[in-house]
Amino acid sequence: MAELVGNLLVAQSGGPTAVINSSLAGVIQEAGRHDCIEEIYGGANGILGILNEELIDINDEKAKTIEGLKSTPAAALGTCRYKIDFKKKPEKAAKDMDRLFEVFQAHNIRYFFYAGGNDSQDTSHKIHEEAVKRGYEMRVMGVPKTIDNDLPFTDSCPGYGSVIKYAATTVMEVGIDVASMATDDGSCCIIEVMGRSAGWIAAGTVLAKRGNAANPPHIILLPEIKYNVDAILAKVKETVTTYGYCIMVVGEGIRDEQGHEIGADKTRLDSFGHPVLAGAAEKIKELVQDRLKTKTRTVLLGYAQRAAEHFASLTDSTNAYACGEAAVRAAVNGQSGYMVKIVRNTEGGTIKWGTDLQELGTVANVEHFVPREWATEDGFLPNEKFVEYARPLIEGEVKIPFEGGLPKYVTLEKSKVEKKLAPRS
């Protein structure tokens, strides 16, 4: 393999996580160990910034800032949801691709790393194919990232372990709270978590049970399973009767028997005539209060769950870092067109985490869901198979520095790399 000398460009895409910056630190710190990599650039706001030739000079950042990325949430370089869509907008996509390669060439980018979820892996794949087609020598690697945990082939997605550590802890804490005042108050609490059509996050809160059926959460609803609303209410009633209270976790995308999203209430329209998305938890709360006359409160973790660096999983953060590191190593070794994946090796009961490579073409646009056989027959709780899978992902705590009682997170200086091209038309 011939050594490829040139500059590196790394960017972040999609919804941020607590550990996407850990992957970024992995890329940057590993890149610093290879002489063939000359300049290290960051793309501001993912592909969108690269199209606008907005590159950040990473070598202008302090070493301690890069180190601090390992304990800083959100996307330090900025992110976007911009998609190069050859199917729906082929002309625009072709134009975007031309522009990207103009930028790559202008800045002698020979290593390109893109951290993101399904769509971003698809983008990386297209860029890799395009580089091959154009005969432009560049090594392209996808770095996995998504709290939703729905990328295929990888054991788990960086970001997922942290979100379920935080969400399971929240469920534990809310559970103790509600139980302690269940005499005359708050006998049902519904916690809504993210994950779109994948139930991995909701399922992950089952860890709060710690093997005890009496412990909350008592009910977990997954978007993968269609639920009969009456059966949900019957289960709530049974739980309140048995334990005096009920803690339920719902994925935001849960569906009824007809396959309709429960959170989308079509009886209420906003000023444009669109159905108001009341939220799944709010909708079920109304049903429980109306039909069971049980006082119900909701918790909507929203963005707080994916940004909760203050309670991030060390295993997750370490794996995220390793993905960034492995991407650079593989690229320097001549590989291109792969996503790094996390591999779990269990030897004598102990897990040894590692990484491997997966062809981007096999990853792009494939969604990975919670297997049906990982939940109980009635669909109201993940089972032991799931617990065995998820438990190791929340091990360990990321240590964060404090200042005045609050976490001290880092911010990149973001020195701009001088532009060499005319503005994007």
User: How far is 147 from 150, CA to CA, in rounded Å?
Assistant: 8
Taking the complex as a whole, how short is the minimal distance between the CB of residue 34 and its own copies, in angstroms?
Answer: 28
Taking the complex as a whole, how short is the minimal distance between the CB of residue 297 and its own copies, in angstroms?
Answer: 6
- Cβ-Cβ contacts under 8 Å for 59 (sequence gap 6 or more): 39, 40
Nearer to its own copies, 274 or 420 (CB): 274
Taking the complex as a whole, how short is the minimal distance between the CB of residue 239 and its own copies, in angstroms?
Answer: 17
Nearer to its own copies, 132 or 233 (CB): 233
Nearer to its own copies, 212 or 241 (CB): 212
Catalytic annotation present for 148: yes
Nearer to its own copies, 302 or 334 (CB): 302
Taking the complex as a whole, how short is the minimal distance between the CB of residue 404 and its own copies, in angstroms?
Answer: 6
Catalytically annotated residue among 122, 148, 155, 316: 148
- Please tell me whether residue 256 adopts helix, strand or coil conformation: strand
Distances (CA, A) of 415 to 10, 43, 110, 383: 15, 12, 21, 49
- Cβ-Cβ contacts under 8 Å for 402 (sequence gap 6 or more): 408
Taking the complex as a whole, how short is the minimal distance between the CB of residue 320 and its own copies, in angstroms?
Answer: 16
Nearer to its own copies, 63 or 181 (CB): 181
Listed in order, strand segments (DSSP E) in 177-295 are: 188-193, 219-221, 226-227, 246-251, 255-256, 264-269, 275-277
Strand pairing class (406-407; 402-403): antiparallel
The Cα angle at residue 179 between residues 176 and 184, in degrees rounded to 5: 145
List residues bridging with 264 in a β-sheet. Answer: 277
The Cα angle at residue 147 between residues 297 and 59, in degrees rounded to 5: 130
- Please tell me whether residue 249 adopts helix, strand or coil conformation: strand
Q: Which string of b and e fits 208-239 if b means at least 16 CB within 10 Å?
A: bbeeeeebbbbbbbbbbbebeeeebbebbbeb
User: How far is 245 from 157, CA to CA, in rounded Å?
Assistant: 33
Taking the complex as a whole, how short is the minimal distance between the CB of residue 46 and its own copies, in angstroms?
Answer: 8
Taking the complex as a whole, how short is the minimal distance between the CB of residue 405 and its own copies, in angstroms?
Answer: 4
Distances (CA, A) of 108 to 4, 38, 102, 332: 11, 10, 10, 15
Quick one: DSSP state of residue 261?
A: B
- 28 dihedral zone (left: phi>0; alpha: psi -120 to 50; beta): alpha
Listed in order, strand segments (DSSP E) in 242-327 are: 246-251, 255-256, 264-269, 275-277, 296-300
User: How far is 319 from 398, CA to CA, in rounded Å?
Assistant: 12
Nearer to its own copies, 146 or 358 (CB): 146
Taking the complex as a whole, how short is the minimal distance between the CB of residue 203 and its own copies, in angstroms?
Answer: 16
Nearer to its own copies, 138 or 207 (CB): 207
User: How far is 422 from 15, CA to CA, in rounded Å?
Assistant: 30
3-state helix, strand, coil in the chain (%, to 5): 40, 20, 40
User: How far is 10 from 107, CA to CA, in rounded Å?
Assistant: 13
Question: Which residues are the active-site residues?
Answer: 148
